[in-house]
């Protein structure tokens, strides 16, 4: 169970394999556990590093408070990449983590090979453009744990088994309710639309057909704008899956990500 200390911040991560670095960034209220059925598959060909973001899993909080901005998470991810001396990693971010991944590539385009955005990272205009706003956010603050367990069931795809749904919902409730609520503020607060023109590295999406949180249509609209800017970008849709495809049905997700990573492997700088 390795830890990395970034000054006084204790960051937990898991690492397996050798080769091209893949940095996995989980979504809201989650941690490295959400990737437990993916890491070993990709570690046969890549150097896979999965991070617990601050306040999640075994990582400490930043200054003893939950993080509420994508920029703060982005700064931590970049410091991790520097500390581990990762050369041109591909960042794979889920949901909240997708926004973090894209913003990291914007801040450090010379150092990042590309991004895979999993059910996240669409060109929202801040809280006005996402599904988490207004009364929903206020209701979440009242009882984040119960809300989270309920919402997990609603964002999953119709072909995901009830047993898997219950497992995922239970695991997500391990997250502190203060951190869970802060994650929603972070997710809703990112206005990627204003930063889209700065994207230089490839961005590929993997999305679930049944995801209402970051819909396939949102991903396609964002990808089309990136392509119009000359950025290599495509959307890859998983039928019958929802917002957390890598955890819902790992075999289907792993096969799709294999296809996407092959595209990065074929691209030379």
122-150 per-position pLDDT tens digit: 877 654 455 555 566 666 666 677 777 77
Q: Where are the alpha helices (DSSP H) in 84-143?
A: 96-107, 134-142
**Reported pTM:** 0.93
190-206 per-position pLDDT tens digit: 888 889 999 999 999 99
User: What pLDDT does residue 125 have?
Assistant: 65
The CA distances from residue 209 to 28, 145, 191, 200, 236, in Å, are 20, 26, 24, 27, 10
Supply 108's token pair: 């450090």
The CA distances from residue 29 to 16, 26, 113, 158, 198, in Å, are 23, 9, 27, 22, 28
What is the residue range of 15's domain?
Answer: 3-265
Count of domains forming the chain: 1
pLDDT at 269 over 90: no
User: What pLDDT does residue 142 have?
Assistant: 65
User: What pLDDT does residue 139 have?
Assistant: 65
Sheet with 233-238, side-by-side order of all strands: 3-6, 9-16, 47-51, 21-25, 90-94, 114-118, 203-208, 233-238
pLDDT at 84 over 80: yes
> At 188, is the pLDDT very low, low, confident or very high (cuts 50, 70, 90)?
confident
> At 217, is the pLDDT very low, low, confident or very high (cuts 50, 70, 90)?
very high
CATH of the domain at 148: 3.40.50.1820
Calpha distance 220→211 (Å, rounded): 13
Q: Mean pLDDT over residues 75-84, rounded?
A: 98
Q: Mean pLDDT over residues 66-90, rounded?
A: 97
For residues 151 and 75, the model is more confident at 75
Calpha distance 174→155 (Å, rounded): 18
Tell me which H or E stretch contains 50: strand 47-51
The average confidence (pLDDT) of the chain is 91
pLDDT at 33 over 80: yes
Q: Mean pLDDT over residues 224-241, rounded?
A: 96
Calpha distance 50→81 (Å, rounded): 11
């Amino acid at each position: 169970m390795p830890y990395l200390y970034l000054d006084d911040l204790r960051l937990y991560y898991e690492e397996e394999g050798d080769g091209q670095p893949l940095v996995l960034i989980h979504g809201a209220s989650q941690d490295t556990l959400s990737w437990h059925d993916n890491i070993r598959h990709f570690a046969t060909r890549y150097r896979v590093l999965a991070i617990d973001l601050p306040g999640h899993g075994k990582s400490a909080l930043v200054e003893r408070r939950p993080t509420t901005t994508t920029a703060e998470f982005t700064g931590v991810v970049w410091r991790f990449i520097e500390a581990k001396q990762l050369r041109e990693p591909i960042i794979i971010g889920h949901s909240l983590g997708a926004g973090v991944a894209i913003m990291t590539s914007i801040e450090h385009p010379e150092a990042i090979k590309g991004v895979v955005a999993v059910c996240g990272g669409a060109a929202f205009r801040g809280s006005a453009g996402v599904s988490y706003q207004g009364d929903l956010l206020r209701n979440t603050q009242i009882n984040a744990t119960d809300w989270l367990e309920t919402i997990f069931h609603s964002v999953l795809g119709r072909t995901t088994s009830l047993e898997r749904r219950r497992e995922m919902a239970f695991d997500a409730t391990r997250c502190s309710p203060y951190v869970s609520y802060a994650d929603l503020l972070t997710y809703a607060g990112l206005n990627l639309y204003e930063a889209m023109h700065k994207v230089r590295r490839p961005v590929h999406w993997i999305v679930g057909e049944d995801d209402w949180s970051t819909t396939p249509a949102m991903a396609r609209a964002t990808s089309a704008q990136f392509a119009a800017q000359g950025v290599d970008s495509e959307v890859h849709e998983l039928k019958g899956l929802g917002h957390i495809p890598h955890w819902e049905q790992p075999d289907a997700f792993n096969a799709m990500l294999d296809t996407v990573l092959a595209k990065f492997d074929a691209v030379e700088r």
